């Protein structure tokens, strides 16, 4: 498999605070890379750098490079196009004040798609992938913000899938979703990895163990270890800190 | 004590002062015997009504320009830049000044000093009264929109202008409208009261509009102090109140 993302000597600071301390690693095409670590380890910041939404946070500086298919993302002038290639799901559901249908159709419409039949097909496919179709297919015109927290999170996932991203960044996607639905979405993610590369930031180490092909462990802005998930969760990872974290000795 | 109490006191003091002024004018007009009281008030109020009607487009225009300016200031200008800081400082100062000051200053400089009541003077008064409050409240409303909304929209590859017009402004709409109501009511109910009354006195052929009874001055000063008190309680920052005094 070829490299989809190449992250090299990446440093991020918020004012005087260093959030990421010069990390380097590659993400392979069509893999699920789990990123685990305690709070303040730089996981969410990393995702924001990758799809360039960190630019909206005041007082940040980014050094090093992130390459998507060999192209440095900082040199890409069409930043909106880049964000359509790298989808993002935030930890808490953000229901836009639109109907369920319009929530999912929002990004394709923004990209210029107008045909009703094509939009219908996208909406149905994305809602099915997010395990929400059966629950909302009869009320697509009702407000997305009226759904329950778990349903709204699945709607957020459907929205992120609507522009068919090449890379999907999931930041704690299951924090507001019940375990049964989480399992259903996890099954979907296993299927989706054939079509896209998935970066899965999670505090649930068992979720990374279930889903990820490889897992990266971050601590205080450093990349402690990245390896196959089997190795990270074995009795003999390279770093003792990794063993301690995945076994609940700290964090 | 709440700022509402001070606002009530301001309003009452102003009403009493205006009552005394009008009472005095009424007597003077009768003594001078130039015109009947009925003719003075009718002509003056027709004139004023016409001017108020002509001011409406200015009022609406200043509100719309204020909203657009505030959104541009908040969303497109870097907050660390000097330009942003200067504009922000000016808006805080202008919005913090009690409207009663505007009323008196505008009347004195724009009307009596210039010697005539023109469309420009009315317009300037209305713009000064409404725009700073509109700009500041719009800034606060836009700032208060949850950052996750912006991030969610931007993450979908939506352009900034579209994200702001379709998502940020609708979310901030109620806050913006509250500011607009405040700005309009401020200009209508406090300074408007002074403007209308002094303009009425002026059109009643008075040579010296500030020749008012001494006891009315007491109430006017009390109104100024009460409005300052309300301003202090509202903003709770010494620099703002001090700047009000200085200006």
* pLDDT tens digits along A210-220: 999 999 999 99
What is the end-to-end Cα distance of chain B in Å, rounded? 26
For residue B156, the chain A residues in CB contact (below 8 A) are: 83-84, 106-107, 110, 159-160, 163
Asked whether residue B39 carries a pLDDT value surpassing 50, the answer given is no
| Shortest distance, CA B127 to any CA of chain A (angstroms) | 32
What value does the mean pLDDT take over residues A127-153? 88
- Closest CA in chain B for residue A160: B156
Crossing angle for the helix pair B214-235 and B238-246, nearest 10 degrees? 150
Contacts of B158 in chain A (CB under 8 A): 80, 106-107, 110
- Decide which of B234 and B55 is more confident: B55
Q: What is the pLDDT of residue B182?
A: 81
Q: Tell me how crowded residue B115 is: count the other CB atoms within 10 A of its CB.
A: 7
Say how far apart CA B198 and CA B22 lie, in whole Å: 10
A14 against A250, higher pLDDT: A14
The confidence score (pLDDT) of residue B175 equals 86
H-helix or E-strand spanning residue A94: none
CA B144 to chain centre: 24
Give strand pairing partners of B168: none
Cβ-defined contact of A56 to B167 (cutoff 8 Å): no
How buried is residue B48: exposed, middle or buried, by Cβ count under 10 Å (0-12/13-18/19+)? Answer: middle
Measure CA of the first residue to CA of the last residue in chain A; give whole Å.
33
- Mean pLDDT, residues B9-13 taken together: 75
CB contact under 8 A, B162 and A156: no
User: Which pLDDT band, with edges at 50, 70 and 90, does B18 fall under?
Assistant: low
Instruction: Give the chain A residue nearest B76 (alpha carbons).
Output: A56
**B contacts of A96 (beta carbons < 8 Å):** 149, 152-153, 167
Give B 63-92 residues with CB within 8 A of chain A. 78-80
Q: Residues of chain B with pLDDT > 70: what percent?
A: 54
- In this predicted structure, the answer to whether residue B91 has a pLDDT above a threshold of 90 is no
Residues of chain A with C-beta less than 8 angstroms from the C-beta of B80: 58-59
Best probe of the A interface among B79, B84, B152, B158, by most A CBs < 10 A, is B152
Which residues from B are below 8 Å from A47, CB to CB?
none
B34: pLDDT confidence band, cut at 50, 70 and 90? very low
d(CA B56, CA B54) in angstroms, rounded, equals 6
> Does B238 score more than 80 pLDDT?
no
Q: Which residues contact B157 (CB under 8 A, 6 or more apart)?
A: A80, A81, A82, A83, A84, A107, A110, A111, A163
Q: Where are the domains of chain A?
A: 3-246
CB contact under 8 A, A163 and B156: yes
Average pLDDT, chain B: 71
CB contact under 8 A, B156 and A58: no
- Average pLDDT of chain A is 89
In this prediction, residue B25 has a pLDDT band, given cuts at 50, 70 and 90, of low
- Measure the CA–CA gap between B130 and B182, rounded to whole angstroms: 9
**In the structure, what pLDDT confidence band is assigned to residue B90 with cuts at 50, 70 and 90?**
confident
Q: Which of A84, A94, A97 sits opposite B157 (nearest CB)?
A: A84
Task: With CB atoms and an 8 Å threshold, state whether B154 touches A53.
Answer: yes
B6-11: Cβ within 8 A, 24+ apart: B6/B226, B6/B227, B6/B229, B6/B230, B6/B233, B7/B226, B7/B227, B7/B230, B9/B222, B9/B223, B9/B226, B9/B229, B10/B100, B10/B190, B10/B223, B10/B226, B10/B227, B10/B230, B11/B189, B11/B190
Q: Per the CB < 8 Å rule, is A107 touching B158?
A: yes
Decide if A90 and B148 are in contact by the 8 Å CB cutoff: yes
pLDDT above 80: residue A124:
yes
Q: Write the DSSP string, B127-147.
A: HHHHHHHHHHHHHHHHHTS-H
Helices (H), A99-213: 100-110, 116-129, 133-136, 149-161, 179-192, 205-211
**CA B219 to chain centroid:** 21
Residue A56 to chain B, least CA–CA distance (Å): 8
Chain B residue numbers touching A90 (CB-CB < 8 A): 148, 151-152, 155
Q: A3-246 in CATH: which number?
A: 3.40.50.300
User: Which tokens go with A29?
Assistant: 């095409």
User: What pLDDT does B4 receive?
Assistant: 65
Interface contact flag, A110 B149, Cβ < 8 Å = no
Residues A46-83: tens digit of each pLDDT = 999 998 988 888 788 999 999 999 999 999 988 888 98
pLDDT of residue B35 exceeding 50:
no
- Distance (Å, whole) CA A197 – CA A210: 16
Q: Does residue B73 have a pLDDT over 80?
A: yes
Note the ipTM here.
0.80
Q: Do A110 and B79 touch (CB under 8 A)?
A: no
Which residue is closest to A169 within chain B, CA to CA? B155
| Res A140: pLDDT | 92
From the CA of B80, how many Å to the nearest CA of chain A? 9
Task: Report, as an integer, the average pLDDT of B61-78.
Answer: 87
pLDDT greater than 70 at residue B216 = yes
- In whole angstroms, give the CA distance from residue B167 to residue B71: 13
Of B26 and B101, more confident? B101
pLDDT at position B38, please?
42
Neighbour-count burial for B157-181, b at 16+ CB within 10 Å, e otherwise? bbebeebbebbbbebbeebbeebbe
Tokens of A188: 């979907």
Find the CB nearest B157 among A80, A90, A97: A80
CA A88, A89, A92, A96 torsion: positive or negative? Answer: positive
Name the residue with higher pLDDT: B49 or B188. B188
Q: How far are the Cα atoms of A42, A90, A192, A195 from residue A228, in angstroms, in the given order?
A: 21, 25, 19, 20
The answer to whether B156 contacts A97, with C-beta atoms less than 8 Å apart, is no
Helix (H) or strand (E) holding A140: none
Lowest mean pLDDT among A201-215, B58-72, B100-114: B100-114
Amino acid B155: pLDDT: 84
pLDDT confidence of A175, banded at 50, 70, 90?
confident
Percent pLDDT > 90 in chain A is 52
Q: How confident is the model at residue B107 (pLDDT cuts 50, 70, 90)?
A: low
Q: Is the pLDDT of residue B214 over 90?
A: no
What domains, with CATH codes, occur in chain B?
35-207 (1.10.3720.10)
């Amino acid at each position: 498999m070829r490299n989809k993302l190449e992250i090299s000597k990446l440093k991020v600071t918020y004012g005087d605070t260093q959030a990421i301390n010069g990390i380097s690693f590659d993400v392979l095409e069509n893999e699920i890379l789990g990123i685990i670590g305690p709070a303040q380890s730089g996981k969410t910041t990393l995702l924001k750098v990758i799809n360039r939404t960190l630019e909206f946070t005041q007082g940040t500086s980014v050094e090093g490079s992130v390459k998507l298919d060999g192209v440095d993302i900082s040199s890409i002038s069409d930043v909106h196009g880049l964000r359509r290639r790298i989808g993002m799901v935030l930890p808490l559901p953000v229901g836009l004040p639109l109907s369920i249908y319009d929530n999912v159709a929002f990004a394709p419409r923004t990209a210029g798609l107008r045909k009703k039949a094509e939009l219908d097909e996208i909406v149905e496919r994305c809602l099915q992938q997010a395990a929400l179709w059966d629950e909302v297919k009869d009320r697509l015109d009702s407000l997305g913000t009226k759904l329950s927290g778990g349903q709204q999170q699945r709607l957020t996932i459907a929205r992120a899938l609507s522009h068919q991203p090449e890379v999907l960044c999931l930041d704690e996607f299951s924090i507001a979703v019940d375990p049964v639905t989480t399992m259903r979405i996890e099954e979907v993610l296993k299927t989706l990895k054939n079509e896209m590369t998935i970066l899965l930031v999670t505090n649930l180490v068992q979720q990374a163990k279930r889903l990820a092909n490889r897992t990266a462990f971050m601590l205080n802005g450093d990349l402690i270890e990245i390896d196959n998930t089997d190795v990270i969760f074995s009795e003999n990872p390279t770093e003792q800190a990794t063993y301690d974290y995945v076994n609940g000795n700290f964090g | 004590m709440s700022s509402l109490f001070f606002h009530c006191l301001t309003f009452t003091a102003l009403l009493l002062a205006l009552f005394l002024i009008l009472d005095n004018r009424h007597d003077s007009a009768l003594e001078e015997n130039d015109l009947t009281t009925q003719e003075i008030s009718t002509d003056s109020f027709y004139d004023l009504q016409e001017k108020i009607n002509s001011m409406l487009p200015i009022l609406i225009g200043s509100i719309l320009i204020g909203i657009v300016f505030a959104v541009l200031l908040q969303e497109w200008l870097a907050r660390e830049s000097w330009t942003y800081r200067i504009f922000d400082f000016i808006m805080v100062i202008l919005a913090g000044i009690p409207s009663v000051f505007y009323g008196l200053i505008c009347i004195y400089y724009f009307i009596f000093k210039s010697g005539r009541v023109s469309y420009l003077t009315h317009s300037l008064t209305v713009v000064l009264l409404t725009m700073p409050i509109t700009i500041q409240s719009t800034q606060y409303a836009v700032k208060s929109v949850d950052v996750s909304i912006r991030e969610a929209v931007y993450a979908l590859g939506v352009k900034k202008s579209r994200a702001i017009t379709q998502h940020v402004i609708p979310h901030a709409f109620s806050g913006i409208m509250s500011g607009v109501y405040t700005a309009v009511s401020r200009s209508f109910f406090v300074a408007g009261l002074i403007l209308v009354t002094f303009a009425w006195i002026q059109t009643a052929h008075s040579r010296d509009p500030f020749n008012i009874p001494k006891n009315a001055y007491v109430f006017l000063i009390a109104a100024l102090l009460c409005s300052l008190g309300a301003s202090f309680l509202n903003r709770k920052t010494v620099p703002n109140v001090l700047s009000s005094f200085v200006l």
